Amino acid sequence: MANVRGKRMFPCPVCTEAREVRLTKKDKPYIVCDPCGVQVFVRGPFGIAAFNRLLDRADGEDLWARLAEMERRYHLKCPKCGGRFWIEPILVKTSVFDGSLQGFRCPQKNCAAIVAWEKKE
């Protein structure tokens, strides 16, 4: 994706934070996100070539800005418990009177908060 201080970066598939792309002893790329406990290893010549093309293309397309915009729009924070979550259809809360969107149910256990979703232009 982006080069930070000369290091190639790629987002963690769980938290989307930039992580350094490292190489194994056999020059196979991988990323590790310690906070999430995620390890992504790219194996095989076709997968490695496709991953490298993705890294090269992402720089020019400003993928980091696109990810930040997605997170701003669809990664909500519960005002009651402080938990963060991605919006999903199963969490939608609508009005029983007119079917309008009221927000999204916080998925945290024992938290019944409804988080309003505001369209941010």
**Once rounded to an integer, what is the mean pLDDT over residues 79-106?**
91
- 86 has a pLDDT exceeding 70: yes
More confident residue, 71 or 103: 103
Phi, psi of 32 (to 5 degrees): -130, 130
Burial of 76 (0-12, 13-18, 19+ CB in 10 A): buried
Average per-residue pLDDT for the chain:
84
Question: What pLDDT does residue 59 have?
Answer: 63
Going by pLDDT thresholds of 50, 70 and 90, the confidence category of residue 4 is low
Question: What pLDDT does residue 61 have?
Answer: 62
Question: What pLDDT does residue 5 have?
Answer: 57
